[in-house]
Chain A
Amino acid sequence: AQKITQTQPGMFVQEKEAVTLDCTYDTSDPSYGLFWYKQPSSGEMIFLIYQGSYDQQNATEGRYSLNFQKARKSANLVISASQLGDSAMYFCAMREGLGSARQLTFGSGTQLTVLP
């Protein structure tokens, strides 16, 4: 079974609008972290935001926020006031296990296009 599922291969949003990118995950470990990365067309992977499984509040970083619904196992990324520079591929990823050496498991990504 897929550990990270991103069901939106592509999304379009108008500049200055908000957009939500979906991510669901599957784990039986009570301790895990969820990450979002941005990959612009230049190819580098840029860390955006992190949410821990025990965090009581949704994470926020500037225009990025994470809508974390633990019971539904979803960790959607919300980008407010979209900018043209937000056009990129976005990956959701998970790291499991308290104190473990497990590395990231990635979803297949969502290509976001911001329209002027």
Chain B
Amino acid sequence: NAGVTQTPKFQVLKTGQSMTLQCAQDMNHEYMSWYRQDPGMGLRLIHYSVGAGITDQGEVPNGYNVSRSTTEDFPLRLLSAAPSQTSVYFCASSRAGGYNQPQHFGDGTRLSIL
């Protein structure tokens, strides 16, 4: 059972570089989200999508772009990496239908910006 798959697992970038974190889910979930996790803090929402072609900003969207062309995929783009974006990034998916749906998480991408 694949669930939510994130690639890569680890990445080191230089300041100013761009890259795309990949996320794919095989559960036919409508909702997908990106979170970042920093030490001493819980996960914070970056962007989310409620379906193909529909995205919205979360709590900390600056410096990131997303798009959702298919139900399965929800890539996160760092436009010009900054040291403040060093973090662990989690992708999650869930069914639509309201507050009772748990989110299923990928294993995370550990990103370091030098």
Interface residues of A (CB under 8 A from B): 4, 31-33, 35, 37, 43-45, 47, 50, 52-53, 91, 93, 95-109
Closest to B90 in A: A45
* Distance in angstroms between the alpha carbons of A41 and B103 in the assembled complex: 20
Interface residues of B (CB under 8 A from A): 31, 33, 35, 40-45, 48, 50, 56, 58, 88, 90, 92, 96-105, 107-108, 110
Number of A-B residue pairs with CB-CB distance less than 8 Å in the complex they form: 78
Closest to A109 in B: B42
Besides A4-B42, A35-B102, A93-B43, 18 other A-B contacts (C-beta < 8 A):
A37-B105, A44-B108, A47-B103, A47-B104, A47-B105, A99-B97, A100-B98, A101-B56, A102-B99, A103-B33, A103-B45, A104-B92, A104-B103, A106-B42, A106-B43, A107-B42, A108-B40, A108-B42
* Distance in angstroms between the alpha carbons of A40 and B48 in the assembled complex: 25
Closest to A53 in B: B99
Cβ of B99 and Cβ of A96 under 8 Å apart? Answer: yes
**Known A-B contacts A103-B48, A106-B42, A108-B42; A31 and B103 likewise in contact (beta carbons under 8 Å):** no
8 Å CB contact of A103 from B58, B97, B100, B104: B58
8 Å CB contact of A106 from B44, B56, B101: B44
Cβ of B98 and Cβ of A99 under 8 Å apart? Answer: yes
Cβ of A33 and Cβ of B40 under 8 Å apart? Answer: no
Cβ of A91 and Cβ of B42 under 8 Å apart? Answer: yes
Closest to A6 in B: B42
19 pairs, CB–CB < 8 Å, chain A vs chain B? A31-B98, A33-B98, A45-B105, A45-B108, A47-B103, A50-B100, A50-B102, A52-B99, A91-B42, A95-B98, A95-B99, A95-B101, A99-B97, A101-B48, A103-B33, A103-B48, A103-B103, A104-B33, A104-B103
Cβ of B45 and Cβ of A104 under 8 Å apart? Answer: yes
* Distance in angstroms between the alpha carbons of A37 and B40 in the assembled complex: 16
A63 to chain B, nearest CB (A): 18
